[in-house]
Structure 1
Amino acid sequence: MLNKLNKALEKVMPLLTPTAVVVGLLCSAWLHSLSFLVSWIFAVMTFAGSIGSNFRDLGKVMKHPLPIIATFLILHIAMPLLGWAAGSLAFPGDDLTQTGFVLLFVIPTGVVSLVWVTIYGGNIALTLALILLDTLLSPFIVPLSLSLIVGAKVHLDVMAMMNGLLWMVVVPSVVGMILNHLTKGQIKKVWGPRLAPFTKIGLFIVVAINSSVVAPHLKEMNAKLIVIIAVAFVCATIGYLAGWLVSRGMKWDQDVTVALTFNSGMRNLSAGAVLAINFFPPPVVLPVIAGMLFQQLLAAMYGHNLNKRYGLKNEPSQAA
């Protein structure tokens, strides 16, 4: 029963997230009040993904750091500079909007990338390492990048960010890897297929709730907002593409290519939106909000393309 449900969900993955975005926008009046559930759902999704990995896998990743270095270069040098350049060209003289585009691309890689990497049979250990390192370094990287590129000054709530990381990523990941080690991988075989459909349902719920939080910022649609959305869409697409091209160019394994594609394109935009709202004027928020609109849609599109290219159809059900 669960296996059939999982296979059915796999077939509609490209439509699952766009539908969730629409549901979130249409039902924002009551869905946004459920935002407190997002962290808990993330934790369950992270646990489900991590039972397929162990400490040995994580150790192997750290011994071969080139994919991590490549992803960091894309995330924190190439993409922020692209965001600044695109913002400067599209909105000359508009310092606040330009700052918004830089902020959109300096935010660390998103926890939800683990879910997509899991679904499409990517390297889970590499993804965990990237998320952990990037989030732990973000209190230093984000303010430094903003200061260097646009001269903005920003203060992050380091303890709140670390606490969120602890319960959303660290604890469920460690528990999952410990159980994998203790059961010698049996937990993945037994519980992986059972948890797989709930991971995808959880993703739908998270995207819908996050979209409902975004909805109030999109009530006044105008020409400037349309341009912001278009520029953010093009730049975000390049992020995913850069991860795929670098991995292909380096001739890394298929699972590494899947991991780099998602981790290079996805950002923790929920944190980015909170940061923008708390520390910057409203115009800075708009590019980040625009990114939230279609981040999951792009992930679904690239996942679909990876699936067609590498024939991953049978892998996600066992990895997720």
Structure 2
Amino acid sequence: MSTLLAWLQKHLVWSIPGAMVLGLAFGTVTDAGFLRAAILPLTLLMVYPMMVSLKFKALAARGHGRLHAVALVINFVLMPLVGWAAGRVFFPGQPALQLALLLTALLPTSGMTISWTGFARGNVPAAVKMTVIGLIAGALLAPLYLKLLMGAVVEIPMASVMAQIALIVFLPMALGWATQRWLVARHGAEAFDTHLKLRFPPWSTLGVLGIVFVSMALKAPDIGRDPAALLTLLWPLVVIYALNFGISTVVGRMLFARGDAIALVYGTVMRNLSIALAIAIGVFRAQGAEAALLIAMAYVVQVQAAAWYVRFTDRFFGAPVAATPQPFPR
């Protein structure tokens, strides 16, 4: 089972579309309404494992103040406005899809921020801290941004959004921290860092695939009536990610050395699509199922874009001076 989960995590560019196809087929041949009961368990399965491996102590690490300040401006000033404007331009009169684009723009960083920064030989400790800051700040600010930017076209149940974020972000975060502390106390920090924490992220991938499956199954009747609609969801995502990569690359080249610039790019482009999915489908019900379809497609665009960008980092920022990996902050 662990081998299969690891393969699915490594090959999201294939496993996500596979889950979409299976969900579409299932929803076509049967009434998938009963799958709504699986949303909350799948959501917790999706979020809790990634919290176990989160480096909470990174918040106390000193340094890189300007880097994190710039990342906060891009993540919580620029990109929310880009997501909101893109929704208005590409999906006029379609509030659920506008909501989906805004949700992806509101929730920066994920575990993949750290992974891709490492693959590109960037500043991994800075990426770790950026991930923790982005996760917490995004969860706190999301209800306010949704109300401010979408309140006129979508009913934003503030109490429900805040309760959902507490349930799917802060509760798993507390449980993940407790699990992490217990494992470190029982087995030691070295065993946790080198072995134990690696067991958890693949289970998060299983939750993601489950949510994608459910989203597609619930939307299968609508997709069956208009299959070409999937293509209309793809191009706005490509445009937004291309714009995000371009802005972060230019800012990184102008202001920072190679390692910090790479951390900035992946800390501002990689979106926490898992939490965006959970909020969409858990809070907004019928509209959330439509929004979740677009967010599911964002996984494919994000993984492909991140993988291709690694190949061009040396061209954008120059070759690394030293190839020695940087340790995670403890």
- Call closer, same or farther: CA 1:263–1:271 in 2, change over 3 Å: same
C-alpha contact 1:54 1:125 (8 A) present in aligned 2: yes
1:47 equivalenced with 2:56 (yes/no): no
1:119 equivalenced with 2:124 (yes/no): no
C-alpha contact 1:114 1:127 (8 A) present in aligned 2: yes
Q: Which runs of 5+ in 2 are unaligned?
A: 119-123, 253-259, 315-322
Measure the CA separation in 1 of the matches of 2:182 and 2:250: 35
- Call closer, same or farther: CA 1:9–1:289 in 2, change over 3 Å: closer
- Call closer, same or farther: CA 1:84–1:287 in 2, change over 3 Å: farther
- Call closer, same or farther: CA 1:112–1:297 in 2, change over 3 Å: farther
Secondary structure of the structure 1 residue equivalent to 2:72: helix
1:202 equivalenced with 2:204 (yes/no): yes
Identify which of 98, 102, 106 aligns with 2:98: 102
Give deviations 1:244-283, integer Å, cap 9, x for gaps: 2122101252122122121288860331233332xxxx5x
Q: Aligned AA for 1:116? A: M
Secondary structure of the structure 2 residue equivalent to 1:138: helix
1:290 equivalenced with 2:293 (yes/no): yes
Q: State the partner residue of 1:67.
A: 71
105-114 or 132-141: which moved more?
105-114
Q: Aligned AA for 2:139? A: T
Secondary structure of the structure 2 residue equivalent to 1:253: helix
Q: Aligned AA for 1:242? A: L
Give deviations 1:210-251, integer Å, cap 9, x for gaps: 322431222233665633x33332222233223321221012
Secondary structure of the structure 1 residue equivalent to 2:234: helix
C-alpha contact 1:242 1:261 (8 A) present in aligned 2: no
C-alpha contact 2:103 2:276 (8 A) present in aligned 1: yes
Q: Percent identity?
A: 11
Please state how far the C-alpha of 1:110 moved relative to its aligned partner. 7.8
- Call closer, same or farther: CA 1:240–1:6 in 2, change over 3 Å: same
- Call closer, same or farther: CA 1:159–1:31 in 2, change over 3 Å: closer
Give deviations 1:262-319, integer Å, cap 9, x for gaps: 1288860331233332xxxx5x5565133133122122212321343349xx999x98
Q: State the partner residue of 1:166.
A: 170
- Call closer, same or farther: CA 1:110–1:262 in 2, change over 3 Å: same
Q: Which runs of 5+ in 1 are unaligned?
A: 89-94
1:236 equivalenced with 2:237 (yes/no): yes
Please state how far the C-alpha of 1:40 moved relative to its aligned partner. 3.6
Measure the CA separation in 2 of the matches of 1:308 and 1:215: 36
Please state how far the C-alpha of 1:43 moved relative to its aligned partner. 1.1
Q: State the partner residue of 2:223.
A: 221
1:269 equivalenced with 2:277 (yes/no): yes
Secondary structure of the structure 1 residue equivalent to 2:110: helix
Please state how far the C-alpha of 1:24 moved relative to its aligned partner. 4.3
Please state how far the C-alpha of 1:105 moved relative to its aligned partner. 2.3
Q: State the partner residue of 1:91.
A: none
Measure the CA separation in 1 of the matches of 2:192 and 2:204: 19
- Call closer, same or farther: CA 1:117–1:271 in 2, change over 3 Å: same
Measure the CA separation in 2 of the matches of 1:72 and 1:39: 25
Measure the CA separation in 1 of the matches of 2:56 and 2:163: 29
- Call closer, same or farther: CA 1:11–1:104 in 2, change over 3 Å: closer
Aligned residues: 295
Measure the CA separation in 2 of the matches of 1:266 and 1:259: 16
Q: Aligned AA for 1:232? A: L
Q: State the partner residue of 1:246.
A: 247
Report the TM-score when normalising by structure 1. Answer: 0.72
- Call closer, same or farther: CA 1:230–1:101 in 2, change over 3 Å: same
C-alpha contact 1:18 1:296 (8 A) present in aligned 2: no
What's the Cα RMSD here? 4.2
Measure the CA separation in 2 of the matches of 1:8 and 1:224: 32
Q: Aligned AA for 1:161? A: I
- Call closer, same or farther: CA 1:52–1:162 in 2, change over 3 Å: closer
Please state how far the C-alpha of 1:160 moved relative to its aligned partner. 3.5
- Call closer, same or farther: CA 1:217–1:138 in 2, change over 3 Å: same
1:154 equivalenced with 2:156 (yes/no): yes
